Every structure is written in C-alpha cells, then in structure tokens.
A and B are shown apart, each in its own frame.
Chain A
C-alpha cells in the first residue's frame, strides 16, 4: 500500500528558488527534527511544482538521519484503497495500529478527501494520534485546506494549527537553474543562450518546463543543425500555456484563505510606481544631503584654522559616503591634534605653533614631533636595575609584600593601586619598589618613573627656579607607572605634595600604577596632606617588618653563595640567630665578616664572626673563674674588641652579688 520513496526525489536534487524557499526550509526542518517544529506541515501548490518531490525528500532525509525511523509515504487514493481493503477484511484496527507506529507520515494529494467524510474522519484520527505521540505528519494538496470542498472543520483546524506554506511557480532564474540541472543529468548539451531562451517561457509548473526540455532534447537528436536560442523560441512557442499567475501585471491578492481581495478600482493610478518614486525621492534627498553637510563642516573647520583637504577631496567623489563616520573621525583627529599641541606647548611653546598642528592629515608627523620633543626633555628617573625581583629574598615576614609586588607587576594599575610599602629602614622596601619598576619597565612602551621623594623635591625646586615646571610635570605625566621611595619625606613640602596629588589623580584615573614606600603607615605620618593620606590609604598598604630569623638566614646563605660561592651552615645559623632590625644590618655584618676573612686569608666562618662580634671566644666557659665581668668581653690586650653589648654567658647572679660585696 505504500509507495517506495523515489531516491531521485531528495533535497539535493531540488532546485530552490524564491517561490519554494519557505516550503523547502520548513520541510528540511521537519525532516531534521520530526514532530518538533511544524506539525503538521501542510504544503500546497498547483500541480507540478514539486510537492511530491518535497514529501519524498523529507522522507529520505528523515530516514538518513535516523535509519530506524519508520517513514510512510502515501497518496490519499492509496489511503482510501487500503482503508476499504482493511474494512472488507475486518482488519481496520490492524491498519490503524500500523499507522500509529509510523514516525513520519507523508500524505500526498489531500485535496482528494473532498466529499469523503468517512476518510476525513479516519485521517483526522490518525493525525491526532500521531501528533499526540510527537510523530510528524506532512500533507500536500493542490490548494489551501480551506479551499478543499467539504472538508471537516476539525481537520481544517488541525492543519491550520501547524504550518501552511505554498509553493509558487518558479521565477526565471529558478527555471533556468532547473533546466541546467536537468540537462546536465541527461547529458544534453545546448548552445549558448538556448536554455536561457527556454527559461523565458513562463510555464506554470516545473513539469511543463521539463516537457519543454524533453521536446528540445528530442528535436536536437533529429536535427542536423544545432539549436539556437531563436530556433528554440520558435520551436517551443506553441507549446506554452499562458497562465494567470504568470502575467506581468499585478496578481490578484489572496487572503489567507485564498479568496481574492476586492480588486482595486482600475482607474486608480499606479500606486506602487507612485510610492516608489516617493521613496526614491526621500532616499535621494537623504543620500545627497551629505554634500551640504560636508560643505558646512568644511567651513566650520576652516574657520577654526584646520586643514580640510581630506573633506574637500570627498566632495569631488560621486559615491555617497558615510558622512557621520567621516566627520566623527575628523573631529577625533582634531581633538588629538589639540591634545598633542597642548603637550608640545608645555615642552616648547614656540614649536607648538607649527602649522603641522593644524593639519589632521599629518597626525603621524605631529605625534613624531611631540615624541621627539618629549624625548629631548628626557624620561623621568627610572628604577635601578640593581634591584631585581628575583634577587629579593623572601621569608615569612615579607611574603605579603612580595606577593603584592608580584600582583602589581602582573596587573599594573588594576589590582593594587596604589601599593604602599610600609616598614622601618633597611627591610627591603626600596629593593621591592625598584624591582617592581624594573619589571614594569620591561613592558613595551612603558615609561616608569622611580625615584626618592627627596629627588622629586629637588627636581621641583630646580624646575621652579628655571621656570620649567610645565616641562617637569609633562615628564611625569607621561609615566605609565610612578613609584616614589620614602614618600614620608614629603612631610611639610606643601608644593611637592600638591604636585604629587595632581599627578596621582591623573595617573590613577588612567589606570596607571602607583607605588610608594614609607617609614610609617600614611595616616601616622605627620605633615602629610589629608588628600594624599586618603589616596594612599585607599590602595593596599603592606607592612614590611624587620626580618625574622628564617629570612635573615636566607639572606646570609644567598649572600655567601653570591660572594664566596658556598655557605657555611654554622656561620649562617650564627648570624641568623642574632637579632637584627633590618636586612641592611644583617648584610652589613656579613660583609664585615667576609672582608675580615679575606684579610686573614681564611673562609668566613662562625668562629670568625663570633670573634668579631664578641671578641675572642673563650676556650671554654670559665664559670668558676675568680674574675667575673659584667658580660662585656675584654680582649687579652685589654681593649674592648667589640662594642656589641652581648652577654655570651650570663654569670650566676648569686655569685655576682657575693663578688661585688667582696
């Protein structure tokens, strides 16, 4: 009862044009996801426009995508026949359950249901059942469902609830595409322009079009001379039926139900032509309006003294331009010129008046000029390369400071801005600050200012006395990072604080990194402007404390490795055990030990260090000796060798008291 799907009728062999695009798209969707998109899908068109092709294509694709899917294609006639046979055999339930198992049901020629109430009810039942089970139903007909005479209202509403699409007669391009494809399939070759000539015939459907092609192929087979476009036209002229939908005049509009809308009174002028000319006029006005706007813009910028060559050249061209964009760009360029001119004025007022600063077409040149001038002024003092982040010794006590420095290096201006390192002198703040500067300076285009507050004050004083404060300021405002060491030295320096305040704001606003070192937290520094204090406190204030024992040891070990190649563990332990306020004092002491060792021609050792710090170490503890000291080590020569008041071996207090009494 079911026709096999004709493998020739697939989506691949279907020529898609404007007239069937919607139908084909819907069909593809349905085949790709049966039951999900449009259910049922109802395709209608006059005969010969590819409805059956479309149905079979859906079936093929659905089967291809889901090989286990059950796809049934049937015409209404087959459906009726099968139904009658089943009823006669008492098998109507079996037939019904067979349909119920179908995943995609494709029903052709639904228009033949007209006046078959019983079959309509049967189809309705099947459609309902399949829809309820999420199975796909696709139907075709030669007219919209509403036009099928005597069709059950319930079927109508079922069809309407899905998607109704129609296929129109193919347009000239589609006709040509179909002819080309079919003649290729049949290996028929025609002279230039022949198929184009055939495509000109406004045949009402594809079948008739293919009929024309057949005739042409047959004619060519028996003809001695090759077919020309003219002979093709002549040959086929009598074959073509003229069809209402293909006439060139406006086609009668159809309502959704297919009924013609009341025809417009014939005396009405060509409203569309009128509309078109109206639209054309508006578009022309809008498109051409740019010339007058361009003229206005040229006058404006000329009056302000800027070169408008770029805009004038546009006036000469025919192609309308995107004026807003051009004018916006011009305005932006002028803004940039102005800003660069202002920068130049700070460095060199005379050169800032160069005509080049009024020509938006020479932006690059201007930029070069300003960069050169700035370069002549010189960059701000940068970080010292001597202090690298890698040589910074990390211990528990300064880990936080180190981590925040790393974060700053990773995301300058974003993560911690400003970063304020606070701690006593000699704990590595300056090292860390310069290390940050050094890392930041490695970024392309980076200008890192890194200097001490005292240096900044001195520079400003000099700039004031030379009346070059603007130039001085410009140097720092170019900086991509500003790192100020010993910022507490700004105390009482109102003018410098004022400058730092403005600099801070400008750099901060443009997300450039700021970092400071200070002896105490900003709020505890007297004589520092509140505005600065709040800005510094607003960033990350990290304490860098005195080095702990572990850190001291690491420093000693690293220094020993650097200076003498190997670290004496005992020496490291000895020096690390000695309390120290700063890294500097640890390093200083070690340095002295190394120098002394070098002088004596021996390796630095704990014994040497002990001797230097405490004088000659006692051979063994002389606890019971008659001579007691207060703990100050007396050298054999009688002088105090070390001024370190370190008690090496604390005598028994009781004995001391006795001794003094004696």
Chain B
C-alpha cells in the first residue's frame, strides 16, 4: 500500500498496468486499492505541478503569518475554517512559535492580495495581527526543483 502511494505521489498518471507490474500485483488488485484509498480520503486529489511563471502568468503569492485569539471549546479550528474557505487561500497550517496560522494566498496582483488581507483576513473576528511576505522566486516546490539543470550525463553504453 505504501509503495503504491509513493508511486502515485510521484506520478499520478502512471497507468494501472505499469503500477501492477512494478508492484508485482494484478491490475485489478491495484485498481481496487486505488479506489479504496480514494474512498478513505487517503488519496485526496491528483494535481499537476505547473510552472506558471514560465507559462507567463504573473500571479502573486503571499505567505502570511496570522496571530489569533483562540476560542473556547474549538481553539483555533473555527477561525482556521473561516479562513480556508476563501478560494484565494491555497494553504493553511497551524504553527508553533511566534504566530498561529501560516496562510498562503494567491492573487492576480499585489493590489489584489493586499485587498484580500485588509478587507477579508484582518477583519475576521479573532485575528489579532497579520504579517505578509511576498514570494519572489520559487526554487523548489513539493520536492520538485523548479529549474533543474541536472541531466543524464552518462555515456550511452558502458560495461
């Protein structure tokens, strides 16, 4: 099961017959396992990592530190939920340290992001402070080096 997940995490488009061969199992069995993993929400979604900068998009990514006042009973969860429901919000983590939530948002422009922070995020009840950082250049994302210059330098045939 772990091996299957690792293969899919690396390349979700791998056909079932190849997966089956690599895992020494039948195609049917692999398909069943994938279905089950999807049903159990262990596999959440199949995404594609896209180099949008290269495509020509100038989206703005902002990483925002958010401080909160926790609520009785639910702690940070209710506020986090209020934040992650916005489409602009890509990622939300509860953090240890000097702030509580790390929020990553994407917008079309600086203005767009600034607006969102000022009018939406800061105004949520329980949010006591925000500090925004703008991402300038991605080098590595989810284990993938964005501009990987390493290539196969081996000779074509060696003993």
Q: Do A and B form a real pair? A: no
Residues of B within 8 A of A (CB): none
